[in-house]
Amino acid sequence: MSTPSYSKKLGIVGKPNTGKSTFFSAATLIPVDIGNYPFTTIKPNRGIGYLRTPCVHPEFNVEDNPKNSLCLDGIRLVPVELIDVAGLVPGAWKGRGLGNQFLDEVRKADALLHVVDVAGATDSEGRICKPGQHDPLDDVKFLENEITMWMNQILKKDWAKMARTAGSGKEDIISLLESRLSGLAINRFHIIESLRKTDLKMDKPEHWSDEEIIKFLDILRSVSKPTLIAANKIDLPTAEENVKRLKERGYNVVPCSAEAELALRRAGEKGLIDYKPGDCKLKITDSDKLNEAQKRALNAIQEHILYKFGSTGVQEAINTAFFELLQMVAVYPVEDSEHLSDHKGRVLPDVYLVPYGTTVRQLAYIIHTELGDSFIHAIDIRGKNRIGEDYVLKDRDVVSIVSAKKRG
């Protein structure tokens, strides 16, 4: 079972040996024995990760029956789609290495999670070196430049014609840019927002210099492909200092240890520890099945990662990407407002992830076209009051939609 089509996609990017694949493996592994759970890898480089959010069922004093998500001890794990983007090497925008595959996968992503070896223990090509020998800030700038130059390459193919068309007044430059860049998951809002941050004259694009175009595209990249830095290998020397440097330069950074997270999820999957993604501690449940080396490894993760940083950072990074970068909210629609159930009696069965600003009627259309067409009003379960079609949904809202079809 795949994630719903309206869900945003997060691309996991990074050069070789940064821990990108380890991060992806950890993020897509459920750390508990869940039997025949339907959410699995979609394609070889596609997987299902999970957002962690407090479930609403304790607030309403009910036992839930999740259908499209998981609930573990009051924590909802909501499936989201992750893309394991092909390894990045310098010159990807020119087609070097797996450059074409890399850029095609970036194109499909709504946001990027850049896994960086924050200890500087891999050089610019991804070769292993001593911690501190490479500057991870160079990797961040390198990724930004690759994507900006790729966008420039696409735009420049038809730029002269586009500029003449806009200059003649036949069509505005925003519409022309939207048409040219729509295949990169770039929309009209992204273009308008980016142009607003420049001094470019929209009625005279033929006068835009190459430098001005690249500056505009650099802004457009940051707006249309918002990026979070997953500062991996946080337990190695020089890592914490580099995290500080990244934050000082205004980057959105989450310290993490993908290797520790993968170890914890595998131990949890085998029933050796009690651990949920994002937990700040672990509990050994069957010490007899652990050898001394395994016990030392788990204690080291507890001491040097969980206690020190509050978590391994993997779950925090995914949550930050969806809830902050993409501004998604989690909403619980129910059919029966009294029992908080669907027509089969399942309590709080579904959680929908929708962009902030989504109205309750738009949610009705997301659930089913007929429900949107026949919408009458909705009920805010917490407030026990009627809400209209323009009500803007908030995170963790529980709503029941009343429609003409439902009444009939």
Of the candidates 66, 54, 109, the residue with the CA atom closest to the CA atom of residue 86: 109
Class of the CATH domain delimited by 9-145+227-323: alpha beta
pLDDT at 97: 59
The CA distance from 17 to 11, in Å, is 17
pLDDT at 3: 38
Q: Which residues, at least 6 apart from 207, have a Cβ–Cβ distance to it below 8 Å?
A: 201
Domains 9-145+227-323 and 329-407 share a fold: no
pLDDT at 99: 57
The CA distance from 134 to 136, in Å, is 6
Residues 272-283 have pLDDT tens digits of 999 999 999 999
* Percent of the chain scoring above 70 in pLDDT: 92
* Percent of the chain scoring above 90 in pLDDT: 78
In this predicted structure, the answer to whether residue 39 has a pLDDT above a threshold of 50 is no
Of the candidates 223, 70, 197, the residue with the CA atom closest to the CA atom of residue 144: 223
83-104 b/e (C-beta count within 10 Å ≥ 16 → b): bbbbbbbeebbeeebbbeebbe
Residue given tokens 């002269």 in the structure block = 160
204: three-class secondary structure by DSSP: coil
Please check whether residue 351 is in contact with residue 78, taking contact to mean a CB–CB distance below 8 angstroms: yes
173-212 b/e (C-beta count within 10 Å ≥ 16 → b): beebbbebbeebbbeeebbeebbeeeebeeeebeebeeee
Class of the CATH domain delimited by 329-407: alpha beta
Task: Enumerate the β-bridge partners of residue 122.
Answer: 128
pLDDT at 30: 61
Once rounded to an integer, what is the mean pLDDT over residues 165-169?
Answer: 90
In the chain, where the domains are located = 9-145+227-323, 329-407
Once rounded to an integer, what is the mean pLDDT over residues 74-100?
Answer: 79
Please check whether residue 32 is in contact with residue 269, taking contact to mean a CB–CB distance below 8 angstroms: yes
